């Protein structure tokens, strides 16, 4: 299954980043390397119409990772639900508010990770 880190694995080195100078020095390293995150494109209306959208009513103790496990079989895709609903933090969702779970996951990932 596609993963947001699998495509365009570009490694960035922060060798000359002045904002990280203290961190680099405190860790006694010469640089810090990390993977760049892919740019995600919100699906078009046409793409969204091809998804099956499950409406879910937010309840006490709900977490994105729990919903991801329930609907996608894997907690690591929690970000898809957060991103699709344009609510990056669970605290942005009110109790009894309806959110959308886009399915199938592979179609959603293929639409947004280009």
Contacts of residue 37, defined as CB under 8 A and 6 or more positions apart, other chains included, come to 4, 5
Over residues 23-50, the pLDDT tens digits come to 777 777 777 666 666 677 888 899 899 9
Average pLDDT over the chain reads 83
In whole angstroms, give the CA distance from residue 67 to residue 51.
Answer: 17
In whole angstroms, give the CA distance from residue 76 to residue 68.
Answer: 7
Please state the domain extents for the chain: 1-38, 45-112
> What pLDDT does residue 10 have?
56
Residues 19, 26 contacting (CB under 8 angstroms): no
> What pLDDT does residue 86 have?
93
pLDDT < 50: residue spans in the chain: 1-2, 5
> What pLDDT does residue 37 have?
64
Q: Which residue's structure tokens are 């203290």?
A: 22
> What pLDDT does residue 9 have?
57
Q: Is 11 left (phi over 0), alpha (psi -120 to 50) or beta?
A: beta
H or E element: which one contains 6?
A: none
In whole angstroms, give the CA distance from residue 4 to residue 40.
Answer: 9
> What pLDDT does residue 26 have?
78
């Amino acid at each position: 299954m596609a993963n947001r880190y699998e495509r365009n694995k570009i490694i960035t080195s922060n060798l000359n980043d002045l904002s990280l100078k203290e961190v680099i020095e405190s860790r006694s390293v010469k640089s810090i390397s990390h993977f760049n995150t892919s740019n995600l494109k919100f699906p078009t209306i046409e793409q969204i119409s091809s998804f099956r959208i499950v409406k879910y009513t937010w309840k006490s103790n709900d977490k994105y990772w729990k919903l991801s496990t329930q609907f996608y079989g894997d907690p690591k895709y929690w970000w898809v639900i957060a991103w699709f609903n344009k609510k990056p933090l669970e605290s942005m969702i009110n109790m009894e508010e309806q959110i959308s779970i886009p399915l199938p996951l592979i179609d959603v990932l293929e639409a947004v990770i280009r």
